[in-house]
């Protein structure tokens, strides 16, 4: 168990180092390129979970992400992709209906996260990182020490106590960070952190559901000690959408 924890921490440290470098550079092209690589890796894992061929869809994802660099509202591109795919389906019925799924998860979510950066800057991504990571850490340690009540059959290891502990901690710390680094009131910051944290919990739960449906333990094995890329960022895919919508208010 000790070696497994060391492996997880080593992988996490490397990923955190990369995130810090990207954050400090805060260069649009670098952020876009890094997000693009992460998106492509998640897309491959999602296609395996959905049991979908990647051949045709890869073109859609590459074109969408290249276009997202130039669009003011990248989230609208997902509708263009869906309309195009639906048109092919109506024209010759050659499209597997499951091909729509990877466009919604994770492609649409990543377009929302990219839009966060474009409209609200690197600090919004820091808010997202703080809220989801603190929620994960809080849920793990509170659940491990005090958890007794199962949260959902989809993820038997999660407990209600852990979820409340993680969301509570993320709400408080997230609200402090948002209020300190913006002109929003503490009450508004508290509401944003709370709803974003809850969304992150269900983002993690949704990926657990997909893995159970696919009959696999992890979405992949790219990250030592953590599994796949989706295993590491699942919470962010729901939380990023929620945070973007809340800030748009």
Task: Count how many domains the chain has.
Answer: 1
pLDDT interval class at 218 (50, 70, 90): confident
pLDDT at 68: 97
Give the domain range for residue 57.
Answer: 2-248
pLDDT digits (tens, 9 = 90+) for 102-127: 999 999 999 999 999 999 999 999 99
Does position 224 have pLDDT exceeding 80, yes or no? no
173-to-97, 133, 158, 199 alpha-carbon distances in Å? 42, 11, 22, 16
Q: What is the mean pLDDT of residues 212-219?
A: 91
Give pLDDT tens digits for 157-198. 899 999 999 999 999 999 999 999 999 999 999 999 999 999
Task: Identify the CA nearest to 103 among candidates 67, 50, 29, 28.
Answer: 50
Q: Whole-angstrom Cα distance, residue 63 to residue 77?
A: 10
Please give the angle made by the CA atoms of 44, 47 and 52, to the nearest 5 degrees.
Answer: 135
């Amino acid at each position: 168990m000790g070696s497994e924890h060391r492996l997880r921490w080593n992988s996490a440290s490397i990923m955190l180092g990369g995130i810090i470098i990207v954050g400090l550079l805060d260069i649009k092209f670098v952020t876009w390129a890094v997000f693009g690589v992460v998106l492509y890796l998640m897309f491959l894992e999602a296609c395996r979970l959905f049991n979908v061929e990647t051949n045709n869809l890869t073109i859609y994802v590459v074109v969408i992400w290249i276009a997202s660099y130039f669009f003011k509202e990248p989230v609208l591109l997902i509708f263009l992709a869906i309309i195009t795919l639906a048109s092919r389906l109506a024209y010759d019925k050659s499209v597997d209906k499951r091909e729509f799924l990877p466009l919604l998860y994770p492609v649409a979510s990543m377009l929302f996260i990219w839009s966060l950066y474009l409209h609200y800057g690197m600090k919004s991504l820091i808010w997202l990182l703080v809220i989801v990571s603190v929620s994960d850490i809080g849920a793990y340690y509170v659940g491990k020490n005090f958890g007794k009540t199962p949260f959902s059959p989809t993820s038997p290891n999660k407990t209600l106590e852990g979820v409340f502990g993680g969301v509570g901690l993320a709400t408080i710390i997230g609200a402090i960070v948002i209020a300190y680094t913006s002109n929003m009131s503490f009450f508004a910051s508290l509401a944003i952190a709370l709803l974003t944290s809850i969304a992150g919990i269900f983002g993690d739960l949704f990926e657990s559901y997909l893995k159970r449906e696919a009959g696999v333990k992890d979405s992949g094995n790219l990250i030592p000690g953590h599994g796949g890329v989706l295993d590491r960022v699942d919470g962010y895919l729901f939380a990023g959408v929620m945070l973007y919508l809340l800030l748009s208010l």
